[in-house]
Structure 1
Amino acid sequence: MPADPLSIRDAWSKIPSPGAAETEFERFTGKRMERILAIVVAIGSAALGAQALIAAVGTMSGGDVPHIATLVVVFAPLAAMLLACLIGRGVRVTCGVFAVAYVLALAAWPIVVDPAADGADAQPWIFFLVNVGVVAAMLAFPVRIQFAWAFGMPFVYGYVRLVQGEFSREFWVTTAFDVSFTLILGVVIVSLGWMFRSVAAGVDEARGQAVSSYAAAAAAAAAEEERVAMSALMHDSVLAALIAGERAEGDRARELAVAMAREALTRLANTEAPVAQEGSDEPVGTTQIVAELRRSLSEVGADAIVEERGGLGLIPGRAARALVLAARQAIGNAVAHAHGRGLHIVVEGHGDEGLRVTISDSGPGFDVQTIGADRLGIRASIFARMAGVAGTARIDSDESGTTVTLGWSR
């Protein structure tokens, strides 16, 4: 079933042009990767946040106002970040707010918490959120700041922890273990995020280059197709009309030349028209094709018989038009180069399944292999025209004559 030209035009308009700004289509993989990272961060941060909240509630007393304020400063942005990651909106803003708020809360920890509240072996609840602050920075900040957060956050926590323990020897061992663990984990998290984003960016870039290459190739193919069609039009209609007008001697010849010129001007005017105006694709019968070939013989003043064979049928209008125009060119070549000697035309129908037209003459013939690329009468008007409707064209020529066989099958 042929595609709707409007649908093709609409789909073509969605292909980004080379050099255009990055579009939603071009960043498809990158956006999907950001969405996946946000969901994974939301799941992991929710688990660690729940663990930290349970630990905080267990160690909090009713009158500890600074401690309660610290909980609000940390968990309110955390809740907003989790919600934003789940719905996919405002992720960078909320993650950036939490990353900064957590650093401030961590730096103020020795001030708002009693140093004697936690021992060296008891980890404070704020420790569980160190790497949550790192992943928040991964979603909110550029790569350099992400690595700065991954390296700096553990050391801030270690310094705060040592200050809380007044730099006593028993705090050094546990703090060193906590710092090394969070440092390694944070660097791994940021590195994985950077790697996944790089891969997604590479995929998007490759897709953009492929689309640009396809668009350039399609544009070149369309330009070449238009050039061939225009060359065939100029050769078939315009040049033929000019030659007919120059050679017209009688009234009948002049009338035919005027009719050919009128048809050439009409076809030239329709070159910029939409596809729907280039000719109907309604089925055409074999008898109508035979009538068109007989009219072509009359126009060039050739005396030949059009023989009908096989069963009558219908073929698409475009295929019929291509067959008639290609046959007309073959007839013109036979008249011009063989002077119409032995000109014989056979139209063999195969019902609705196809049609074959054979044009033969008994002229001197020519070498088909030596046909130049600039010989539009054969390259464009016969071979290219039949190929444009998925038809076939074959030329056999020797000293005994030339036979042009045109075919189209469903």
Structure 2
Amino acid sequence: MPDEQSLIDEAWRRIPQGRKQASPGRFTRARFERIAQVLVAVAGAVLGGQTLVIAVTDGQFQAHPVVLGITMSSLAAMIVTAAVGRFARLAAGVFAVGYVAALAWWCFVDIGGVDPIAQPWPFFLLSVATGAALVAFSLPWQIVWAIVPPLLFGIAQLLRADFAETAWEALGYDTSVAILLNLLIVVLGWMYRGIANGVDEARSRVVEAYTDARAVEAAEQERIEIASLMHDSVLAALIAAARAETPRERQLVVDMSREALTRLADAETAGPEGSDAPRGVSEMAAAIEHAASELGVTLTVPVHVPDGDVEIPGRVARAVVLAAKQAVANAVHHADAVGLAASVRADGAGISVEVSDRGPGLDVGAIPADRLGIRASIMARLAAVGGEGHIDSGSHGTRVTLTWSATDDDEGDRT
């Protein structure tokens, strides 16, 4: 049975993915972080270019080339790393801290350098700094970066204007708009991160549910296969050994025991029952005849096909033959092979196998749950490959009908 990690990997592979994705638990969150980095890079490039033009045309760059150069260099590094998706958080954090330091320096050093009512170069980077904090910092620090730099800028401008009435109106508007815009950026980031986390949690629950269901299915399938193997081979060999009297019967028991031990030894392999290549209907009929001969009875299985032989997918052919073998074994063991007969009919639409006897019959509904000869070896085995098994039993005898119909995919497998 597949282990839990292989099942989780299988479930994760079923989710559509791009070329490179995060783990199942961080898929949507990683997508949002990448989108946020790209948006910050675009905003930084646009507003950074505007800031540089204003600083150069107003003479501010020529007056303070070092501080402006460092600030713009860190901004350029953040834009590049955010665009390529490598070291974006580190570069964003460096710019966010460096911008606040440059803003503080500008507030206390460049007191008389610009018009207090104008919008100097630091103003255009207020929202960019908040975007950088969104990429680099946790929510509390994002709020700090959304509020403190605009307030620091507004206080510095008021100091320059000597708290003039005209400055209050203009700076009050600029500062409040900057704070509201920054808080909007933080709120949107917080909201979309929450949505991404919720989607990731839902996806994780779906993957876990699929894993649990797949594990249960694999365990049940393995139980059916092992139960069928034990019933078909091991118990049949033991019953035949108990009834063997002649040298011929004993030799048949030896052959059956050898086959049972081989199948048990191969139970853990990927394909213990041979190749999955298509098998002809005539070959399947011969296998049923051989199974009957191993049980000490002679059985001729006529094949009815419309035109030549028909090939059946290997997995289906194995299931049908093994189920037919079990039906023959039941007829031998419970009806002493009285009136035992079998036939195979096949065409392009599927295959049907009938095994019948004229024994006393049985009540299928009264079979105990721990008897697996019919439930596991016939019904469950056919159902596992998309087929059906039907049993008609009464005083007239028992007829087991095994049917399988081809689908479009199965047609493709046979071509």
* TM above 0.5: yes
**Contact kept in structure 2, 1:162 and 1:168, CA below 8 Å:** yes
Deviations along 1:360-401, one digit per CA (max 9) or x if unpaired, are: 122232333334432210011111122233322111122322
| Alignment match, 2:401 | 405
Superposed, which structure 2 residues align to 1:43-82 within 5 Å? 43-60=42-59, 64=63, 67-82=64-79
Matched, 1:214 2:213: no
| Alignment match, 2:146 | 150
Question: What SS does structure 2 have at the residue aligned with 1:27?
Answer: helix
Stretch deviating more after TM superposition (215-224 or 292-301): 292-301
| Alignment match, 2:280 | 285
| Alignment match, 2:81 | 84
| Alignment match, 2:294 | 299
Instruction: Give the CA deviation at 1:128.
Output: 1.3
Q: CA 1:384 to 1:55, structure 2 compared with 1: closer, same or farther past 3 Å?
A: same
Q: Distance in 1 between matches of 2:74 and 2:303?
A: 86
| Alignment match, 1:238 | 234
Deviations along 1:222-255, one digit per CA (max 9) or x if unpaired, are: 1110110000000010011111111111101100
Q: Distance in 2 between matches of 1:281 and 1:63?
A: 79
Instruction: Give the CA deviation at 1:188.
Output: 0.3
Q: Distance in 1 between matches of 2:176 and 2:61?
A: 34
Q: TM-score, normalised by structure 2?
A: 0.87
Instruction: Give the CA deviation at 1:191.
Output: 0.6
Deviations along 1:34-81, one digit per CA (max 9) or x if unpaired, are: 1211121122222222222222112226973xx223312321211111
Stretch deviating more after TM superposition (326-335 or 135-144): 326-335
| Alignment match, 1:4 | none
Question: What SS does structure 2 have at the residue aligned with 1:397?
Answer: strand
Stretches of structure 1 that go unaligned for 5 or more consecutive residues are 1-8
Matched, 1:101 2:94: no
Superposed, which structure 2 residues align to 1:346-365 within 5 Å? 346-350=343-347, 354-365=350-361
**Contact kept in structure 2, 1:38 and 1:86, CA below 8 Å:** yes
Stretches of structure 2 that go unaligned for 5 or more consecutive residues are 14-20, 407-415
**Contact kept in structure 1, 2:289 and 2:298, CA below 8 Å:** no
Deviations along 1:263-290, one digit per CA (max 9) or x if unpaired, are: 0001011111232x53023343333333
State the superposition RMSD in angstroms: 2.6
Q: TM-score, normalised by structure 1?
A: 0.88
Q: Distance in 1 between matches of 2:177 and 2:346?
A: 84
Instruction: Give the CA deviation at 1:335.
Output: 2.5
Question: What SS does structure 1 have at the residue aligned with 2:301?
Answer: strand
**Contact kept in structure 2, 1:115 and 1:165, CA below 8 Å:** no
Stretch deviating more after TM superposition (172-181 or 262-271): 172-181
- Amino-acid identity (%): 46
Matched residue type, 2:56: V
| Alignment match, 1:6 | none
Stretch deviating more after TM superposition (247-256 or 83-92): 83-92
Superposed, which structure 2 residues align to 1:134-283 within 5 Å? 134-275=130-271, 278-283=273-278
Q: CA 1:188 to 1:366, structure 2 compared with 1: closer, same or farther past 3 Å?
A: same
Stretch deviating more after TM superposition (301-310 or 225-234): 301-310
Q: Distance in 1 between matches of 2:345 and 2:119?
A: 94
Deviations along 1:95-141, one digit per CA (max 9) or x if unpaired, are: 11111111111112233324263143x22221111111111111110
Matched, 1:340 2:337: yes
| Alignment match, 2:372 | 376
Q: Distance in 2 between matches of 1:405 and 1:61?
A: 93
Q: Distance in 2 between matches of 1:310 and 1:94?
A: 74
Q: CA 1:53 to 1:262, structure 2 compared with 1: closer, same or farther past 3 Å?
A: same
Q: CA 1:171 to 1:398, structure 2 compared with 1: closer, same or farther past 3 Å?
A: same
Q: CA 1:377 to 1:181, structure 2 compared with 1: closer, same or farther past 3 Å?
A: same
Instruction: Give the CA deviation at 1:29.
Output: 2.0
Instruction: Give the CA deviation at 1:10.
Output: 8.8
Q: CA 1:103 to 1:403, structure 2 compared with 1: closer, same or farther past 3 Å?
A: same
| Alignment match, 1:324 | 321
Q: Distance in 2 between matches of 1:356 and 1:142?
A: 67
Paired residues, number = 393
| Alignment match, 2:27 | 28
Instruction: Give the CA deviation at 1:164.
Output: 2.2
| Alignment match, 2:119 | 123
**Contact kept in structure 2, 1:106 and 1:160, CA below 8 Å:** no
Question: What SS does structure 2 have at the residue aligned with 1:408?
Answer: strand
Instruction: Give the CA deviation at 1:258.
Output: 0.4
Q: Distance in 2 between matches of 1:83 and 1:291?
A: 72
Instruction: Give the CA deviation at 1:353.
Output: 5.0
Matched residue type, 2:312: I
**Contact kept in structure 2, 1:110 and 1:164, CA below 8 Å:** no
Q: Distance in 2 between matches of 1:316 and 1:43?
A: 57
**Contact kept in structure 2, 1:16 and 1:212, CA below 8 Å:** no
Stretch deviating more after TM superposition (302-311 or 355-364): 302-311
Q: Distance in 1 between matches of 2:299 and 2:285?
A: 12
**Which 4+ residue blocks in structure 1 deviate beyond 4 angstroms?**
9-17
| Alignment match, 1:5 | none
Q: Distance in 2 between matches of 1:117 and 1:293?
A: 100
Stretch deviating more after TM superposition (299-308 or 371-380): 299-308
Q: CA 1:52 to 1:318, structure 2 compared with 1: closer, same or farther past 3 Å?
A: closer
| Alignment match, 1:37 | 36
